[in-house]
Chains A and B, each alone.
Chain A
Amino acid sequence: MDQFTTSLTEALRQDGKIWVVIVVIAIVLLGWLYYLLRIGNRVRKVKQRLDL
């Protein structure tokens, strides 16, 4: 596990740390996506209640 973390950290430091930027962008986009899916889930529940 420790070796994996070290190699991952080294990989992210490559190419002038551009991969750190990619990880940050991915976190932002995944966070928004998760939130959007949660809202979608609530919409589905409201729809189910309306259908009943």
Chain B
Amino acid sequence: MRKHWWKALTVIILAYVFVAGLMSPVPKLPILHEAIRNTFFHPPLWIAMMVMLLSSTIYSIRYLRNGKLDDDLMAVEFANTALLFGILGCITGSVWAYFAWGDLWPNDPKTNGVAVGMLLYLAYFVLRGSFDDDMRRARISAVYNIFAFAVFIPLILILPRLTDSLHPGNGGNPGFNQYDADSSIKRIIRPAFIGFTLLGFWITQLRVRLRRLEINLDEVEESTKSAAIPAELQNPTNL
């Protein structure tokens, strides 16, 4: 149980975020009204996704340094979880954008940057699927993963700040900080960042454990099969 304290913490934080996110008082702003509460659920998805992508990149770098296939496994599963959070971020953002800005996908540098970034990571999975050899797949996709992260971060964090953007805190647009005089947003959004990120680690851990089991099972089945074939048939030159 001592090893799993962080899972209990995740549950507690998420319960707090979902209950307080709906019940606590929030700044009264025109156009947004109660929809400002989406701040507690939409941005944390992106923060969690970025942490997952950073972790994935770190494991890709580790793979290139050590050559351990387990690091490649960690990298791909972190990227998988990041993709889940990214897709949910896109859908929730789209719904919120429709009711705040009047368009499901507004022409905004941040949303467009995210779309490009997600396509970059979808290409990562396509690239992985195109190799038969495990070592080649791991090496080339690790290099691609590092490149994708290096492109993704400027696309969603730097470029939107250099041009006009609808997103708060971007392109000269004021953030919510100035309306958050009594810290009613900060009190919930900060734990939400932690809770969503911890959940991402939890999901990734489950996927990694499952994948390791599948790999072990594959190896056992493979060795059972080869043991069942007579030695002469395994090496026809002995015949």
CB-CB nearest in chain B for A19: B34
A35: chain B residues at CB < 8 Å are: 84, 203
The interface size of chain A toward B, counting residues with CB under 8 Å, comes to 23
A39: chain B residues at CB < 8 Å are: 203, 206-207, 210
A28: chain B residues at CB < 8 Å are: 41, 45, 88, 92
Within A14-46, which residues are at the interface with B (CB < 8 Å)? 15-18, 20-21, 23-25, 27-28, 31-32, 35, 39, 42-43, 46
A24 touches B95 (CB 8 A): yes
| Known interface pairs A28-B41, A28-B88, A35-B203; A20-B35 also in contact (CB < 8 Å) | yes
For the A-B complex, the count of residue pairs with Cβ-Cβ distances under 8 Å equals 70
The interface size of chain B toward A, counting residues with CB under 8 Å, comes to 30
- With a 10 A CB-CB cut-off, give which of B32, B87, B206 has the most chain A CB atoms: B206
A31 touches B87 (CB 8 A): yes
Q: Is the interface of B mostly helix, strand, loop or mixed?
A: helix
Report the separation of the CA atoms of residues A16 and B29 in the bound assembly, to the nearest whole angstrom: 11
A27: chain B residues at CB < 8 Å are: 88, 91-92, 95
Q: 30 A-B pairs, CB-CB below 8 angstroms?
A: A15-B34, A16-B33, A16-B35, A17-B32, A18-B34, A18-B37, A20-B38, A20-B96, A21-B34, A21-B37, A21-B38, A21-B41, A24-B41, A24-B92, A24-B95, A25-B18, A25-B21, A25-B41, A27-B88, A27-B91, A32-B199, A39-B203, A39-B206, A39-B207, A39-B210, A42-B214, A43-B210, A46-B210, A49-B221, A50-B217
State the A residues within 8 Å of B (CB): 9, 12-13, 15-18, 20-21, 23-25, 27-28, 31-32, 35, 39, 42-43, 46, 49-50
